[in-house]
């Protein structure tokens, strides 16, 4: 009897060969930007600095809000596109101008005052330099930050915030100078240093206002005398001598008024209330 045929076994499936892990495709490398020549970089910085110094003087006369890329381009005889490349927007130009004005203030007022010895000499040097920078025309239109403060005190935004921050720096420097004068034994330690700094600031702002708006020729002499008397009222016996009261400006003004009473501003003002 024949044996039944056994079914043939199916051959095993071929083993799968392990596939290699896919390698990330190489990303195209960006071309490196060519570095500007140092001489060209220095030239660009000098150009920007010159632009901003002109912007500071222009803004001190016409206000920060009047400072636009177009107005500055007209003043400098440059293209608008060239200026726009430096600052990008009106706000960018305003902020850069504020920073330049701050650096001018530090270089011309704060740093020279710090060379004086701590105490009353340094405090007075700081005050005198602050009042004198308008007389010396450091900014073409008067006190840059006084004008900017009045212009932007009710306008919210980055420009106002930066002006306010710089004014806080100034008040802190003034208060610090008062405190150092107290530590040196030149001012009564019972005096409120913050209050005294604000009194000095108020007198100075009044002088800026009278000088700019009223064309008062003795505004800063009067402010120095008022501040001197206030400091003398809280000075100690060991305080170095304060500068003398300036009488020459008052004498000159009184002499002019005596020759022509109609020029006396008090007489003109009083006529309004008659």
For residues 202 and 130, give the distance between their C-alpha atoms in angstroms, rounded to a whole number. 13
- Confidence band (pLDDT; 50, 70, 90) for 272? very low
Question: Looking at the predicted structure, is the pLDDT value of residue 134 above 80?
Answer: yes
Say whether pLDDT at 40 is over 90.
no
At residue 256, does pLDDT exceed 80?
no
Q: Is the pLDDT of residue 202 over 60?
A: yes
- How does pLDDT run across 165-190, given as a tens digit for each residue? 999 999 999 999 999 999 999 999 99
Burial class (CB in 10 A: 0-12, 13-18, 19+), 37: exposed
Q: What is the pLDDT of residue 140?
A: 80
Out of 23-37, 129-143, 214-228, the most confident range is 214-228
pLDDT digits (tens, 9 = 90+) for 4-17: 555 566 666 666 66
For the chain, what is the mean pLDDT?
Answer: 81
Kindly state the average pLDDT of the residues 183-204. Answer: 95
Whether the pLDDT of residue 93 is over 80: the answer is yes
Q: Does residue 157 carry a pLDDT above 70?
A: yes
Q: Which two tokens stand for residue 159?
A: 């420009």
Which of 26-30, 60-64, 68-72 is the least confident region? 26-30
Specify the length of the chain in residues. Answer: 274
* pLDDT confidence of residue 70: 81
The per-residue pLDDT for 196 is 96
Q: Residue 262: which residues within 8 A CB-CB, separation 6 or more?
A: 268
pLDDT of residue 188: 96
Give the whole-angstrom CA distance, residue 171 versus residue 153.
16
Give mean pLDDT, residues 88-114: 91
Assign 3-class secondary structure to the chain. Answer: CCCCCCCCCCCCCCCCCCCCCCCCCCCCCCCCCCCCCHHHHHHHHHHHHHHHHHHHHHHHHHCCCCCCHHHHHHHHCCCHHHHHHHHCCHHHHHHHHHHHHHHHHHHHHHHHHHCCCCCHHHHHHHHHHHHHHHHCCCCCCCCHHHHHHHHHCCCCCHHHHHHHHHHHHHHHHHHHHHHHHHHCCCECCCCCHHHHHHHHHHHHHHHHHHHHHCCCCCHHHHHHHHHHHHHHHCECCCCCCCCCCCCHHHHHHHHHHHHCHHHCHHHHHHHHHC
Query: Given a cut of 90, is residue 265 above it in pLDDT?
Result: no
102-241 folds as: Tetracycline Repressor; domain 2 (1.10.357)
Instruction: State mean pLDDT over 221-230.
Output: 93
Q: How many CB atoms lie within 10 A of CB 228?
A: 19
Mean pLDDT, residues 187-199 taken together? 95
- The residue with greater pLDDT, 252 or 39, is 39
Q: How confident is the model at residue 273 (pLDDT cuts 50, 70, 90)?
A: very low
pLDDT at residue number 274: 42
More confident residue, 260 or 250: 260
């Amino acid at each position: 009897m024949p044996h039944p045929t056994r079914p043939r076994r199916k051959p095993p499936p071929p083993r799968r060969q392990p596939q290699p892990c896919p390698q990330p495709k190489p990303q195209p490398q960006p071309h490196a930007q060519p570095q500007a020549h140092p001489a060209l970089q220095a030239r660009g910085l000098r150009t920007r600095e010159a632009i901003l110094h002109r912007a500071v003087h222009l803004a001190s006369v016409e206000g920060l809000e009047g400072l636009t890329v177009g107005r500055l381009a007209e003043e400098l005889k440059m293209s608008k596109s060239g200026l726009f490349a430096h600052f990008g927007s009106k706000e960018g130009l305003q902020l850069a101008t504020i920073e330049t004005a701050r650096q001018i203030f530090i270089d011309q007022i704060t740093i020279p005052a710090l060379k004086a010895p701590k105490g009353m000499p340094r405090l007075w040097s700081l005050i005198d330099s602050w009042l004198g920078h308008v007389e010396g025309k450091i900014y073409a239109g008067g006190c840059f930050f006084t004008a900017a403060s009045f212009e932007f005190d009710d306008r919210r935004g980055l420009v106002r915030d930066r002006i306010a921050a710089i004014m806080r720096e100034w008040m802190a420097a003034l208060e610090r100078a008062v405190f150092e004068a107290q530590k040196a034994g030149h001012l009564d330690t019972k005096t409120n240093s913050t209050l005294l700094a604000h009194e000095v600031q108020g007198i100075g702002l009044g002088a800026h206002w009278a000088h700019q708006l009223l064309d008062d020729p003795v505004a800063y002499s009067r402010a120095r005398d008022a501040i001197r008397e206030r400091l003398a009222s809280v000075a100690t016996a060991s305080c170095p001598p304060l500068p003398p009261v300036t009488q020459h400006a008052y004498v000159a003004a009184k002499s002019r008024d005596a020759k022509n009473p109609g020029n006396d501003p008090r007489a003109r003002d009083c006529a309004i209330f008659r």
